[in-house]
Structure 1
Amino acid sequence: MTEDTITSRNRANIVGDFLWTIGPILLALLLTTLALIAIGADPAKAYATMWNGAFGSAEKLSSVMDAWVPLVFCSVGLFITFTAGLWNIGIEGQMVMGAIFATWVARTFDLPAEILLPLIFVGGALGGALWALFAGALKVYGRVHEIFGGLGLNFVAMGVALYLIIGPWKRAGIASTSGTEPFRPAAWLPNFPGMSVGPIEIILAIIALILVYLALRGTLWGLQLKAIGKNIRSAFWLGIPTSRYMLGAFALCGTFAGLAGAEQAVGVWARLIPSISGGYGYLSILVVLLSGFRAPLVPLVAFFFAAVTKGSIALPLDLQIDSALGGVLQGMIVLLFVLSQGVRSKFR
């Protein structure tokens, strides 16, 4: 085989990868456009409204980044559990529990910001890791599938958050589910001027992505985790402590989810609210699927999903179209992408 032939095949593979990736996105946009036409809406106005809702001002762009940060954190964690062949659906609850632990630290300790903020993130990471270990223990020792165990723990975590908000941590003289008292200023993350997002959380998310990417690709731990994900029985017979590795994968994933929850608590809301997770845990699963389990693509895919999520909020305000359209578009893209990859692998 000549060098020219190899080069031509490589080019064909690159073009094929691009078409099989962009095709589902274009098809999803087409189907969404047809749905808009069917309900009598102007697709051009709808997409323009979503664009303006995401990028129309610095404040709107900062709200997109507010969603981008937890999406990246949670996606980083999911790369670990997916590598081990585990579907950590409980990541939503782990994010909530991280926010709860972070809130406890913020409310309990009256310390300078340079000491308090690191403690808050440590608390958030610990809360997420512990909650993930519950799901892991149910999987490893109780033979409960991680999807069912995770979903159940999600509801428990949300119930705990609501109980704390209307119970021990309720605002003085107010019976409300809107959230706890705002944290003291020392527990607020510093933001860019005129924006609701700052450099600390963005840098932390990028560092987390790089570290996990390198660990999964270039360490013995990453190789053994992949072996478990490919065939857990074979990995066990090769001497890999599969139970310990699976529990570790859950704990690490929960750690990053907990960091996402802590960031939302102190970087966005400055308090604990019932919907602190914002659905970002579930959405991050779609981010990982659409990225094709390729970590370098996560920032771009997460930014797209964050923009669609925030941009669709403007739809009911400007066009009387339900904001769920954004979720429909996101779900359709992922569904068609996964379907296309399945078809491609079958005929390869």
Structure 2
Amino acid sequence: MLLPSPFILALLGALGITTLVMLIAGVSPLAVYQILFFGAFSTPVRFGDMVMLATPLILCASGLTLTFAAGLYNLGVEGQVVLGAIAAMIPLRLFPELPTPLLWTLSLSCAACGGACWALLAASLRLGARVSEIFAGLGLNFLASGLALYLILGPWRRSGAAAASGTALLPRDIWLPTLEGLRLAPLAPIIALLGLGLVWWVLSRTRWGLEVRAVGINPNAADRLGVAATWRIAQAMAGCGALAGIAGGLQIIAVFHQLIPNISSGVGLLGLLVVLLVLARPVWVLPVSIIFASFTVGSVQLPLALGVDSSIAGVLQGALVLSALLARGVRRERAQRI
């Protein structure tokens, strides 16, 4: 008897775990699921918020498929988002008089460079000092957050008692334009989709992508076959950092319009969950990112509608990933026994 697909097993397992949590808390699971699954689509404003949350999530998850393909666990993606946001602020503060399209291009280019350089720092620790990219990335995350806080409280400090909440708002004329009555900036999701399409193309249609996947399977064997494993690892990390940096730049010019302490909003770590769930396959990044963003936006309505803490969305997201990993493990174990 064949087992159901891993996705069905993951969904059933996640729903089972989350339902148990809600029953223990004395909450109606059906009411919670209705809001989580459909709340983000209930009004145009909530739908726009979901798209704007999915945008940096798609970029981070797309970049992480590159590093996962290379056999790397880039837990430093959060710091790369932060460095991208910091780098994006530099031209916005220095050259606000430039033509707006040129300023956007310059800002996002700086964001990509900032994220890529931060990722290359983690890669250099991995390749040069044999420090695991997991520990290097986590350490660099804290360093990036500290740097952002220093800039907010120090050189970029705004006058007023609430200086710790962020820098001064950017002039409105350099914000990405939004649809009337919504917080949705159409250019932002377009950039995210272009980034996802580029990652899919390079991984599935180019020799470079083939070599990155070969390095991910066995770097020593790939090196013996003439693949520059060290360069491919560094390039994959830089590519991921660049996309994460662009996500940080969009957080500045399209969402918050200022540098705030939590500028990443956790999208990097959420992107890690997305990539783990889709097994680093770019083709599934878009739908799963939309699902995760829908859960997050829908969960905001739970405290008012049902008196339930919005963190239940995180329980469901984490349970999905955990159930998917368990399902794949069961299938692999079963296949080995046959």
TM-score (norm 2): 0.95
Looking at structure 1, the residues matched to 165 and 257 of structure 2 have their Cα atoms a distance apart, in angstroms, of: 12
Match of 2:101 among 114, 117, 127: 114
In the TM superposition, what is the alpha-carbon distance from 1:160 to its structure 2 partner? 0.6
In the TM superposition, what is the alpha-carbon distance from 1:294 to its structure 2 partner? 1.8
- Partner residue in 1 for 2:176: 189
- Partner residue in 2 for 1:65: 51
- Partner residue in 2 for 1:3: none
In the TM superposition, what is the alpha-carbon distance from 1:52 to its structure 2 partner? 5.7
> Is residue 2:27 matched to residue 1:41?
yes
Which sections of structure 1, spanning at least 5 residues, go unmatched? 1-11
- Partner residue in 2 for 1:155: 142
- Partner residue in 2 for 1:94: 80
In the TM superposition, what is the alpha-carbon distance from 1:58 to its structure 2 partner? 1.0
Match of 2:282 among 292, 295, 309: 295
Q: 1:239 to 1:119 in 2, by over 3 A?
A: same
| Mapping for residues 94-243 of structure 1, pairs under 5 Å | 94-110=80-96, 111-243=98-230
Match of 2:246 among 246, 249, 259: 259
- Tell me, yes or no, if the aligned pair for 1:166 and 1:175 is still in contact at 8 Å: no
1:158-214 per-position Cα deviation (integer Å, ceiling 9, x unaligned): 111111111111112335211111112232111122221222111111111111111
Looking at structure 2, the residues matched to 39 and 172 of structure 1 have their Cα atoms a distance apart, in angstroms, of: 44
- Tell me, yes or no, if the aligned pair for 1:209 and 1:295 is still in contact at 8 Å: yes
AA partner of residue 284 (structure 1): G
- Which SS does the other structure have where 1:177 is aligned? helix
1:39-60 per-position Cα deviation (integer Å, ceiling 9, x unaligned): 1112222223334642221111
Looking at structure 2, the residues matched to 97 and 53 of structure 1 have their Cα atoms a distance apart, in angstroms, of: 32
Which sections of structure 2, spanning at least 5 residues, go unmatched? none
| Mapping for residues 12-91 of structure 1, pairs under 5 Å | 19-51=5-37, 53-91=39-77
Cα RMSD, aligned residues only: 1.6
AA partner of residue 74 (structure 1): C
- Which SS does the other structure have where 1:131 is aligned? helix
- Tell me, yes or no, if the aligned pair for 1:68 and 1:306 is still in contact at 8 Å: yes
Say which is worse superposed, 83-92 or 206-215, in terms of deviation: 206-215
Moved over 4 A (4+): none
- Tell me, yes or no, if the aligned pair for 1:181 and 1:271 is still in contact at 8 Å: yes
Looking at structure 2, the residues matched to 245 and 65 of structure 1 have their Cα atoms a distance apart, in angstroms, of: 32
Looking at structure 1, the residues matched to 236 and 38 of structure 2 have their Cα atoms a distance apart, in angstroms, of: 39
> Is residue 2:235 matched to residue 1:248?
yes
- Partner residue in 1 for 2:310: 323
- Which SS does the other structure have where 2:156 is aligned? coil
Looking at structure 2, the residues matched to 289 and 40 of structure 1 have their Cα atoms a distance apart, in angstroms, of: 31
In the TM superposition, what is the alpha-carbon distance from 1:320 to its structure 2 partner? 2.5
AA partner of residue 7 (structure 2): T
